[in-house]
């Protein structure tokens, strides 16, 4: 088609619009996210991969756990020069991964897409939420994310590296999500991992979260099910010690933190009101080491 015809049809009020250099959208409505992705890939050329926030979304991470739109981030072979323009950021890389295709869109693997996103984030809380989502929903192991950070550019990796180092085991991962969730409470916990003792000095337990003003404990189980009788028995014994000492306890499964956070918040709010309605039990705590 003659360039003059394209130029004329892309003028203000015309039926077409230019999305990117050399890429024309054949209607004048706002482009859909799918059209923007297609345009970006056409602009970047062969072997380009979609990474960043949009790739995380297409991999299935929940939109509520993703940062605000940052435009589209594309990885291209290191020997090609395609400048960033408009809503497209291009990144040349010698470590171009094999694509993971979703509905015909070549995506960077979720581990790479996640690390490409967090190293561009300024807010540590947003990074934390995305990493938790990638690990629990996307099943990315913290070690795999750390490896990716170690082998890519080091710019912007200090915060995610610190978080991931603390989350190598599943237990600390569940606690991290619990801490994130607790920010939505009217009265957040006063302490985490404090050791509790009754008036005689008898050890009661070390709840994940503790509200000292009202004597409320929150326990996050390590796993959704106890595969050994000994693990179940220890949980029963611990909760019995809490109850005997007058402590109100809420017990939550890790899957509940991910799948039904609203119900967890409701349980904690109700338990706090119950705990606040009676005299505080005669217990003391020591700070976590």
The verdict on residue 17 lying in a domain is no
91 close to 76: Cβ distance less than 8 angstroms: yes
Q: Which residues contact 192 (CB under 8 A, 6 or more apart)?
A: 175, 179, 208, 209, 210, 288
The verdict on residue 179 lying in a domain is no
Whole-number pLDDT of residue 286: 92
Q: Are residues 133 and 227 in the same domain?
A: no
Task: Give one DSSP letter per residue of the chain, joined into a string.
Answer: --HHHHHHHTSTTSS-EEEETTEEESSSSPPPHHHHHHHHHHHH-TT-EEEHHHHHHHTT--GGGSPSP--EEEEEETT-----BTTEEEEEES-PPPPEEETTEEE--HHHHHHHHHTT---HHHHHHHHHHHHHTS---HHHHHHHHHHS--TT-HHHHHHHHHTSSHHHHHHHHHHHHHTTSSS--SEES-EEEETT--EEE--SEEETTTTEEEEE-SSSS--SHHHHHHHHHHHHHHHHTT-EEEEE-HHHHHH-HHHHHHHHHHHHHHHHTSPPPSEEEE---
Q: Are residues 159 and 200 in the same domain?
A: no
Whole-number pLDDT of residue 139: 82
Q: Are residues 111 and 227 in the same domain?
A: no
Whole-number pLDDT of residue 70: 78
Whole-number pLDDT of residue 152: 86
The verdict on residue 20 lying in a domain is no
The verdict on residue 182 lying in a domain is no
Residues in a beta bridge with 118: none
For tokens 């080091």, the residue is: 154
Whole-number pLDDT of residue 265: 96
Whole-number pLDDT of residue 135: 85
d(CA 119, CA 135): 16
Whole-number pLDDT of residue 95: 93
d(CA 115, CA 223): 27
d(CA 180, CA 270): 19
Containing domain of residue 266, as a range? 187-286
Specify the number of domains making up the chain: 2
Whole-number pLDDT of residue 170: 54
For tokens 């949980």, the residue is: 235
The verdict on residue 181 lying in a domain is no
Q: Which residues of the chain have pLDDT under 70?
A: 168-172, 222-232, 288-289
Whole-number pLDDT of residue 268: 97
Q: Are residues 194 and 251 in the same domain?
A: yes
Q: Are residues 155 and 35 in the same domain?
A: yes
Whole-number pLDDT of residue 168: 66
Whole-number pLDDT of residue 194: 92
Question: Among the three residues 115, 134, 168, which one is the final residue of a domain in this structure?
Answer: 168
Whole-number pLDDT of residue 228: 43
d(CA 54, CA 60): 10
Whole-number pLDDT of residue 245: 95
Question: Among the three residues 104, 133, 168, which one is the final residue of a domain in this structure?
Answer: 168
């Amino acid at each position: 088609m003659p360039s003059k015809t394209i130029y004329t049809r892309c003028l203000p009020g015309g039926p077409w619009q230019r999305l990117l250099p050399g890429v024309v959208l054949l209607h004048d409505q706002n482009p859909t996210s799918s059209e923007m992705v297609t345009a970006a890939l056409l602009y970047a050329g062969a072997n380009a991969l979609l990474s960043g926030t949009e790739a995380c979304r297409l991999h299935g991470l929940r939109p509520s756990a993703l940062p605000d739109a940052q435009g589209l981030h594309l990885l291209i072979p290191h020997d090609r020069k395609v400048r960033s323009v408009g809503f497209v950021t291009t990144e040349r890389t010698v470590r171009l991964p094999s694509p993971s295709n979703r509905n015909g869109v070549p995506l960077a693997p979720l581990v790479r897409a996640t690390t490409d996103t967090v190293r561009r984030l300024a807010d540590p809380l947003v990074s934390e939420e995305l990493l938790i989502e990638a690990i629990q929903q996307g099943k990315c192991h913290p070690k795999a994310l750390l490896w990716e950070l170690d082998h890519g550019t080091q710019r912007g990796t200090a915060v995610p590296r610190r978080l991931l180092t603390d989350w190598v085991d599943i237990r600390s991962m569940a606690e991290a999500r619990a801490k994130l969730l607790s920010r939505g409470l009217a009265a957040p916990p006063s302490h985490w991992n404090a050791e509790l003792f009754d008036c005689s000095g008898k050890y009661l337990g070390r709840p994940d979260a503790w509200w000292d003003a009202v004597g409320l404990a929150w326990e996050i189980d390590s796993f959704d099910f106890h595969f050994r009788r000994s693990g179940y028995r220890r949980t029963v014994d611990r909760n019995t010690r809490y109850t005997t000492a007058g402590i109100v306890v809420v017990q939550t499964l890790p899957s509940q933190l991910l799948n039904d956070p609203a119900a967890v918040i409701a349980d904690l709010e109700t338990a706090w009101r119950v705990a606040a309605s009676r005299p505080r039990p005669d217990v003391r705590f020591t700070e976590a080491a």
